[in-house]
Amino acid sequence: MTHPQPDERRDGAGRVPRTRAFSTRAFRTRAFRTRAFRTRAFSTRAFRTRAVAAAAAVLTVAAALSVRTLAGGGFAKYAGDALYTVLVHALLVFLAPRVRPLLAAGGALVFSCAVEFAQLSDVPARLSARSGAARLVLGSTFNAPDLLWYAVGAGAGWWVHRWAGRRRPPRAVQPFARDLSSDS
């Protein structure tokens, strides 16, 4: 009895399966075209999610700059911290459109806290002295209450992401509704 070579494996019916990735007949079928070439990254739903996340990021930056311009003091500072985390959340959803709300909020919170703890070193302060953009992104000094407001921003991002991603069922006729015209 000879054992089949690795390239001569046979299925249950004794046929040698094709070694190509797909046959030309399978390529022509509609099911192959729609499933094989529509990857998750380029699906309509992912595109729509990315568009909403990009719009949310732009609105978040506009809100943060408006708060910074119009308000002053502690409110502007802490609202900016929360909106910073919301922006990071929106950017995470833009990069990974199928991410779950809790994971995106957790990632935004971890990133924001990492930036805040990096301020314990002198690197962000030196970069902030050179560039205004670096000052907006990295900050300059560590402030412990910022961590609380990062958590508030992550919670707000989680809630909006969860609310926006919820599927609404179509309105249907109630199956157990009484027909009042038949009661005479």
Q: Has residue 47 been placed in a domain? A: yes
pLDDT (tens digit, 9 = 90+) per residue, 158-173?
999 999 877 665 555 5
Taking the CB of residue 16, how many other CB atoms lie within 10 A of it? 11
Tens-digit pLDDT profile for residues 7-47: 455 556 666 555 555 455 555 555 545 554 445 556 788 88
pLDDT on residue 137 = 82
Question: Looking at the domain assignment, is residue 19 inside a domain?
Answer: no
Q: Is residue 9 part of a domain?
A: no
Task: Tell me the C-alpha distance between 155 and 95, whole Å.
Answer: 19
Residue 92 lies in a domain: yes
Half-sphere exposure of 156 (CA within 13 A, CB side): 18
In a domain, 30, yes or no: no
Residue 157: inside a domain = yes
Instruction: Let me know if residue 70 belongs to a domain.
Output: yes
Question: Tens digits of per-residue pLDDT, 112-143?
Answer: 999 999 989 888 888 888 888 888 788 878 88
A 10 A CB-CB count for 165 gives 14
Structural domain of 60: 40-165
Q: How many domains does the chain have?
A: 1
CA distance 167 to 109: 26
90, 112 contact by CB (below 8 A) = no
Distance between CA atoms of 19 and 89, rounded to whole angstroms? Answer: 44
End-to-end Cα separation, the chain, in angstroms: 85
Residue 1 placed within a domain: no
What letters, b where the CB count within 10 A reaches 16 and e where it falls short, cover 101-136? beebbebbbebbbebbeebeeeebbebbeeeeebee
